[in-house]
Structures are given as C-alpha cells and as structure tokens.
Amino acid sequence: MADEGMTPWKDLALGCAMTEPGSSRRFNTGDWRSRRRPVTDREKCIKCGLCWIICPDMAYSPDPEDEGFYNWDSFYCKGCGICLEECPKDAISWQEEREEDKYGPACGS
C-alpha cells in the first residue's frame, strides 16, 4: 500500500491538529485550470485592484516591483474567469494555456 505523504501516528500533533498555519499555501490548485489563463494588459489596467479583491482563490497579489499593478499566480488560479468578467476596463483576457507554462515554477508564496 502506498503510504507516500502519510504521517506516522506518533508524529501527529495532539488531536490531529495542524500546527502550521496556512499550510494550504503549498497546495497547487493551478492545475484545476484547463486550456486557458487570464492575462492582464497593463496598458489598459487602471490599477483599481478589483481583480485582487474579488478573486476567490487569491491568485492576484500586489506587484512589489510596479506599484499599483497586481501579479497573477499560476499556482493558485483555478481559471474561473471572475476577474475577466468584473474588470471595469476589460484589461484581462484569456490566453491559451501553453504546455510549458502550465506546470511552471510553483510560487506557493
């Protein structure tokens, strides 16, 4: 029986608690996405931040290098399309998922 990723009972925290907060950050939900990914055209973007605040999967986060813009994270985006739908300037559009991008570097920030 495969026991990869399983925890020996003696190593479990008391009451099977999880003592590392936010451990789900290491969990890749980016591979729930199929075919396409949202891409922001920063020319059209007015830095309103709506994509960031209305994303159920927290796939957007403030760009530390370019203030006001938001970075998209392939590791978490499930591809629901809410950001496209809600962007007031239609600055976000779908782009076909490329094989080499799909399993790109895990952010897991």
Partner 1 sequence: MGRRVGLEVSLACAEAVGLCNVDVIAAYPITPQTHIVEHLSELVADGHLDAEFVPVESEHSAMSACVGSSAAGARTFTSTSSQGLALMHEILFIASALRLPIVMAVANRSLSGPISIWNDHSDIMAERDIGWIQTFAENGQEVVDLTLHAFKVAEDSRVCLPMAVNLDGFNLTHVIEPMELPDQEQVDAYLPPFKPSQRLDTAAPISMGMVGVPEVYTEAKKACLEALENSYPVIVEHWKGLAEQFGREYKPIETYRTDDAELLFVTMGSMGETVMSAVDQMRDDGQKVGVVRIRLWRPFPVDDFMNAIAGAKVLAVIDRALSPGVPAGPVATELRGMLYTKDDRPYVADFVCGLSGRDVTRSQFTEMAAQAKEAASSGKEMFCQMVGVKE
Partner 2 sequence: MISAAEALKDFKKITPKTIPLVEPFSKGHRACQGCGEVLALRLVAKAVGMDMIAVSATGCMEIISSPYPQTAWEVPWIHVAFENAAAVASGIEAGRKAMIRKGIIKDDGAKIVAFAGDGATADIGLQALSGALERGHDFTYICLDNEAYMNTGIQRSSSTPYGAMTTTSPPGKVSKGQMTWKKNVPMIAAAHNIPYVATASPAWHVDLMNKVKKAVSIPGPAYIHIFSPCPTGWRCPPETSIETARKVVQSKVFPLYEVIDGRYVLTRDIKKPIPVEEYLKTQRRFSHLKEEDIAYIQKRVDGEWDRLLKLVQVTNEEA
12 sits near partner 1 (criterion: CB under 8 A): yes
From the number of C-beta atoms within 10 Å of its C-beta (0-12, 13-18, 19+), residue 92 rates as buried
- Identify the helix (H) or strand (E) that includes residue 82: helix 82-86
Q: For binding to partner 2 (CB under 8 A), which residues are involved?
A: 7, 16, 18, 20-29, 32, 48-49, 53-59, 62, 73, 76, 78-82, 84-86, 108-109
Residue 26: CB minimum distance to partner 1, A: 14
Q: Give residue for tokens 């003592």.
A: 19
Instruction: Give residues in contact with partner 1 (CB under 8 A).
Output: 5-10, 12-19, 21
